Amino acid sequence: MRFVTIEHAGREWPGVLDGEDVVLLQASDLVSVIEAGTAGVVAARNELATGERLPLASVSLRAPLRRFRRDVLCTGWNYWDHFEESKGKRDGQDVDRPEHPTFFTKGPDVVTGPYDEIAYDPAISAKWDYEAELALVIGKAGRSIPVADALDHVWGYTLANDVSQRDLQRQHGGQWLKGKSIDQTMPLGPWIVTADELGDPQDVHLQCLLNGEVMQDASTKQMAYDVATLISELSFGMTLRPGDLLLTGTPAGIGNAREPQVFLAEGDEVVTRADKIGELRNTLVYRELA
């Protein structure tokens, strides 16, 4: 199943895709469906026969998750080709190849919709960069989850673009929160594909296009640490809860590592797509942020 959040009749509604229609759900939002576990999915499936239907082409898709209990959870350096391409380009902050996954967070106000504008302000940064990523949504709470059980805790998968401000990222002691938490800069969506429908998360073809040119093109098979390992390591001593969002890292091809470097500018169109999920299509538009 594919779950969406749409804008309709002056409010946001959770829904389910059914062919070319969106079936509206009675739940308050998708987080409520996720928190209900299997019962929430069963109820949504039952509503396919009774719920109000709207043509998908007639509605505005919002980011599927709109309510967060914590920051967006993220993974860095999870494709070794991406780790290697940036060597010597981290402004003196190079490190040895990590022996465990690298995690960081983004403030939840970064989230914007799958076709919404990305807020752009050159006063914030001179080095705006793109990062196409597979993201997952936790569906079952757990702490210190074994690798063998980790995928049972995934409710579904979606796409994100972890738009980053590289100079801002380097200015704060080597930590990444500030340079990755600018408001309205992380497209998310276009929907959440349930784990059973997507299948193997290590068999997803991921791409990022900038103004029609392919900049990133990889398979999640190339991940340094697979999805199950990420969940197990992140949950070690730390409870993950339904509705938590985890980005799984970006492959090689980022603008900062190119020669010459390629950074985003006002008017650029960025497309993030995956064969088993769909695509995000976003344009950078000036908005005063500083």
**Domains of the chain, residue spans:** 2-62, 72-286
pLDDT at position 287: 98
pLDDT at position 273: 98
First to last CA, the chain: 40
Please tell me the class of the 72-286 domain. alpha beta
pLDDT at position 88: 81
pLDDT at position 263: 98
Cα atoms in the Cβ-side hemisphere of radius 13 Å centred on 244? 22
pLDDT at position 154: 98
pLDDT at position 93: 77
pLDDT at position 166: 95
DSSP string, the chain: -EEEEEEETTEEEEEEEETTEEEEPSSSSHHHHHHTTHHHHHHHHHHTTTS-EEEGGGSEEEPS----SSPEEEEES-BHHHHHHTTT-STT---PPPSS-EEEEE-GGGEE-TTSPEEE-TTT-S-EE--EEEEEEE-S-BSS--HHHHGGGEEEEEEEE--EEHHHHHSSTT--TGGG--TT-EEEEEEEEEHHHH--TTS-EEEEEETTEEEEEEEGGGBSS-HHHHHHHHTTTS-B-TT-EEE----S--GGGSSS-----TT-EEEEEETTTEEEEEEEEE----
Q: Give me the residues paired with residue 210 across strands.
A: 213, 270
**What is the per-residue pLDDT across 56-72, written as a single tens digit (0 to 9) for each?**
999 999 999 999 999 99
Give the integer Cα–Cα distance in Å for 211 and 249: 22
Mean pLDDT, contiguous 10-residue spans, the chain (290 residues): 96 97 97 96 97 97 97 97 88 85 98 98 98 98 98 98 94 89 98 98 98 98 98 98 98 97 98 98 98
**What is the per-residue pLDDT across 195-218, written as a single tens digit (0 to 9) for each?**
999 999 999 999 999 999 999 999
pLDDT at position 87: 87
Nearest Cα to 246, choosing from 133, 141, 88?
133
The structure's pTM equals 0.97
